A = this chain, B = another copy of it.
Amino acid sequence: MNRLVDMQDALSQATTLEEFQTFVENLRAVYDLEHLVYHSVNSTGGQYAALTYEPVWVERYIEQDYARIDPVVQGCYRQFQPIEWKTLDWSTKASRAFLGEASEAGLGNQGFSVPIRGPSGQFALVSVNQKCNDEMWASFTSERSADLLLISHYLNEKALQIEGNPNRGPTRSLSPREKDTLTLLATGANRASIAETLKISESTLRVYIESARFKLGAANTTHAVAMALTHGLIVV
């Protein structure tokens, strides 16, 4: 387990994306893997990765927006547990084509990916890739799964830290009533029913909505609710 301790030490030194990338490359070498990938995905198509794949493949992946069809990404997105690539559904046409291209780009036949989730819907995955037979791979993944979980956690922690956390700006705190209001709005209730629930007049309710909007600098109610959610001010 020394490797993990060393890793944390080395990782704590990294403060830039370049150092992060170098770290991932070193980690690949230490574990004697074909490839190691940290891949952060967000739903709007933005993505950031530190990886050891061929640049050509990476470029094509981004250009073709393969994250949308990549069975590994899609599979991880719906699971909590790490995923063995072999267990994924490679039957669709798109998947097959994707697999073919990936093989050509030098990816091994074995793969294992760990989903990681952070606040505000942040999502990333750490994948390891190898060329070997099923038996050897099963042995590797069962022995190293705990390591991989921890590595994934530390990598994501570092990535979030380097990217800077999005909760920038002095978000003024909301009053209890404002929280109640936004929370109920987030459940889809309209002003009339919320007023009834909170046993106040709709006029009063409007004051809360408006003051919450003002405090958050939100353009409208939906915006205010979205901001409150992503800033963790309310939990629905």
Copies in the complex: 2
Which chain B residue has the least Cβ–Cβ distance from A218?
A: B188
User: How many interface residues does A have (CB within 8 Å)?
Assistant: 57
Is there contact, CB below 8 Å, between A157 and B78?
no
Q: Which of A154-188 contact B (CB under 8 A)?
A: 156-157, 160, 167, 176, 179, 183, 185-188
| A28 CB contacts on chain B under 8 angstroms | none
Is there contact, CB below 8 Å, between A68 and B222?
no
Is there contact, CB below 8 Å, between A223 and B118?
no
Question: Does any Cβ of B come within 8 Å of A150's Cβ?
Answer: yes
Most buried by B among A43, A117, A235: A235
Name which of A11-19, A29-37, A197-205, A226-234 contacts chain B. A226-234
Residues 49-93 of chain A, each 1 if its beta carbon lies under 8 Å from chain B, else 0: 000000000000000000110000110011111000000000000
Chain B nearest Cβ from A174, distance in angstroms: 9
Which chain B residue has the least Cβ–Cβ distance from A224?
A: B188
| A74 CB contacts on chain B under 8 angstroms | 232, 235
Chain B nearest Cβ from A163, distance in angstroms: 11
Is there contact, CB below 8 Å, between B150 and A232?
no
Pick the contact of A223 from B43, B78, B167, B188 — CB < 8 Å?
B188
| A233 CB contacts on chain B under 8 angstroms | 43
Question: Does any Cβ of B come within 8 Å of A26's Cβ?
Answer: no
Question: Does any Cβ of B come within 8 Å of A131's Cβ?
Answer: no
Is there contact, CB below 8 Å, between B157 and A146?
no
With A80-B119, A146-B150 known, 9 other A-B pairs at CB within 8 A are: A43-B234, A44-B235, A68-B235, A123-B235, A186-B223, A187-B219, A189-B219, A190-B219, A225-B226
